[in-house]
Structure 1
Amino acid sequence: MTIGARVFKTGLAVAVALWLGTLAGLESPVIAAVAAIFTVQPSIYRSWMQVLDQLQSNVLGAGIAIAAYWLFGSAPLSVGLVCILVILLCIKLKTEDTIGLTLVTVVIIMEAQNQGWPAALDRLASLLLGIGCAFAVNVSVAPPKHHSRFVRQVQEAQNQLSRLLRTSVSNELKENVFRKEQEQLHEQLRKLDDFYRLFAEERVLKKRSRLRKARLLVMYKEMMMTLERGYELIEAVEEQYFAVPSDPAWNRMVDQHIEMLCGYHEQLLWKWDKKLKAGAAPAAPPPESGIRLTEMIAAEGEFDDALKARIAAQGETEVTVRARLLVVTSALFAYEDRLHRLDKLMDHWFERGLDGAEE
């Protein structure tokens, strides 16, 4: 088990908050540690937005807590009703992520009023200190590099996609193994979308850097779309290909075409990482191979007697079989089209001299 950057920074923020709280002579430095735990976020931008939301919600919550104490006291029922009001206000202000810490603020300030104003102000200061420590640690210690994480995740997803595609038609993997790997790939694609959003949220100050980032986002989006088309091809093979019998010659051509597409996808990522030799280009599948697949499906009278007997035995019609196989072919074409688009985007990227600009 490895310790991630966010885990480490949470622990560090808690330690710094406790240390500074003790150094400043606060009576409740542990409250600063609690605030730090709530404020650490996976990106600098989200951390900054969390600070703004926490300040707004906690100051508002503190004001409500003070007013409620003077009006109703600090009876358990009063504290509970104030918590309900604060939750509704946070939802109204669209700061739902701050509800937890804001409720902590309300409870500790209403409880501290029994000890006088100094205790209430001490606890509010502890909360603000914890929020500030969490933001400072998040910015200064191992700032998140979401583009690097994104590229690594793309490579891992492509490796798993390639393994599943290459065994989808040949049906070599055990059913439970295939299902497990397919679920893992689906989860990887979901994480990939999260990394993309985190990278897209980061703010860049320089105009030139903003332009580079905008182009990089287009590239990353295309990488994601390509992987998604590959995943849709897996689903098409599962849902349509195995539902009906098909011509062995067509099966071999599909298997070969998928093999070429997987190799093409892999080489595109090598191209992005500059692992290909100078002047070398990824081996794209010849266009006539895809056209031939469609022709074999659409051709009238292409099914032999043995295949027609198998089709009839399954209660299917030749029209239904051709329609199902065309779905598989369409998914193949969609995946291949995205690969060609990704290849062209990479060419434009390198032609403009933008390589190495991942900031």
Structure 2
Amino acid sequence: MEFNIGPRMVKTGLAVALSLLVTEVLGLHLEIVAAIASVLAMQPSIMRSYAYIKEVIVSNSIGLGFALFGYFLLGTHPLSVGAVVIISIAINIKLGLYKTVSLTVLTIITMMLGHSDGISLVYIMERLSLVAIGVLSAFVINVVVFPPNHEKNLFKMIKEASEKTNFLLRVIPNKTMSIPQMKAEEKEVDKLIDQAKDYYEIISDERNRLFIKNRTLFFRNIIIYKHMIQVLTKMQTLIKHLEKNLQIVESTTSNKSYLIKKLVKEMNSYSENILLLYEDKIVLDRDLQKETKAAMQVTINNLIEELQGSELAKWTYVFPIANSIIELFFELDKLESFVRVKELKEKKE
């Protein structure tokens, strides 16, 4: 069994430890509230931690208001607490405060389950301080310990997804994989691409950070990553169309099938070469690459010519594949241009 402890796990543990230490120094009771708050508040990026704090201020103000309202009007019966939690969750969702719902619930429970002396201003401040300590502990640890290298993490995801998609584009035309295994591989590809898209949103948020060392390089890279993800999406679409229609195309016409398989193989090599070019692992001769792309365009034109005059039924099966190949070709061409520009500018710098 694999046992991996990642940076986020370590940071969450340290945030819990820090929140417990602070509550102990300040002599606050119910330190478990601060510890839970630190776990809930740990975010995957510094900017998201900052945005989370701003959202916490709004959502917890709502939570505090409902907690006081519920306490004085309904009391502390479990059903009363539950009713207040339901209403506050509904209000938070209505306002779009999805990320801090759990923390708001924690605040309400902490406030309403007060001691026998009732709720006082000191009591309110102490309970809010517990939540604030937890959230700030998570933020401090996120900034200080293992600051996330989002560019490196995102490219790792893109590369893994690319390897999987390239593998599928090799085996699907040749039918060298069982259907159940292929379905499992496709599911994994979909998951990896979705993860890359989600992580891109995080790295996109980071563009507003004030402490990026090389902002020009950062912006240049996230533009390239955006286009890499678009390429992955086009490859994902092509895989689905190949799996659905290629067998029918093979049974109706051998020439179209041959052209499709040839193009898929060339697109696969093209995408792998661009990724290697980005990593400075290979040098792609511009003239040779132009000839390769021209040859691909000729094959695409041949496929289009083969489609002309075909029956409508054949178009139904061949056109989705042909369209996916054409879209992928132009997306790869754009990606190569961006990578070339980056390479050129880095040499000048």
Give TM-score, length-normalised by structure 1.
0.85
Which of 214, 218, 225 is equivalent to 1:220?
225
- Most deviating of 257-266 and 202-211: 202-211
Deviations along 1:232-263, one digit per CA (max 9) or x if unpaired, are: 11122222222242433443333232222111
Q: Is the 8 A contact 2:277 2:284 kept in 1?
A: no
- Most deviating of 75-84 and 97-106: 75-84
> Structure 1: which amino acid aligns with 2:227?
E
Q: Is the 8 A contact 1:10 1:134 kept in 2?
A: yes
> Structure 1: which amino acid aligns with 2:181?
V
> Structure 2: which amino acid aligns with 1:248?
S
Residues 210 and 177 from structure 1, CA distance in 2 versus in 1: closer, same or farther, beyond 3 angstroms?
same
Confirm whether residue 152 of structure 1 aligns to residue 156 of structure 2.
yes
> Structure 1: which amino acid aligns with 2:116?
N
Give TM-score, length-normalised by structure 2.
0.87
Deviations along 1:95-127, one digit per CA (max 9) or x if unpaired, are: 232222222222222222524534443332222
Confirm whether residue 329 of structure 1 aligns to residue 322 of structure 2.
yes
Aligned to 2:91: 89
> Structure 1: which amino acid aligns with 2:221?
L
- Most deviating of 90-99 and 43-52: 90-99
Confirm whether residue 19 of structure 1 aligns to residue 21 of structure 2.
yes
Confirm whether residue 161 of structure 1 aligns to residue 171 of structure 2.
no
> How many angstroms does 1:265 deviate by?
0.7
Q: Which has the larger radius of gyration?
A: 1
> Structure 2: which amino acid aligns with 1:345?
F
Q: Is the 8 A contact 2:151 2:222 kept in 1?
A: no
Aligned to 1:260: 266
Confirm whether residue 273 of structure 1 aligns to residue 282 of structure 2.
no
Confirm whether residue 112 of structure 1 aligns to residue 114 of structure 2.
yes
Give me the whole-angstrom Cα distance separating, in 2, the residues matched to 1:77 and 1:248: 70
Extract unaligned runs of 5+ from structure 1: 301-317
> Structure 2: which amino acid aligns with 1:262?
N
- Mapping of residues 174-189 of structure 1, within 5 Å: 174-189=178-193
Percent of aligned pairs with the same amino acid:
26
1:3 partner SS: coil
Which of 237, 241, 244 is equivalent to 1:239?
244
Q: Is the 8 A contact 1:112 1:120 kept in 2?
A: no
Residues 282 and 48 from structure 1, CA distance in 2 versus in 1: closer, same or farther, beyond 3 angstroms?
farther
1:138 partner SS: helix
Q: Is the 8 A contact 1:113 1:119 kept in 2?
A: no
Runs of 4+ off more than 6 Å: none
Aligned length: 339
Supply the RMSD in Å over aligned alpha carbons.
2.7
Extract unaligned runs of 5+ from structure 2: none
Aligned to 1:69: 71
1:340 partner SS: helix
> How many angstroms does 1:130 deviate by?
0.9
Deviations along 1:261-285, one digit per CA (max 9) or x if unpaired, are: 1111111001101111486788444
Give me the whole-angstrom Cα distance separating, in 1, the residues matched to 2:85 and 2:333: 56
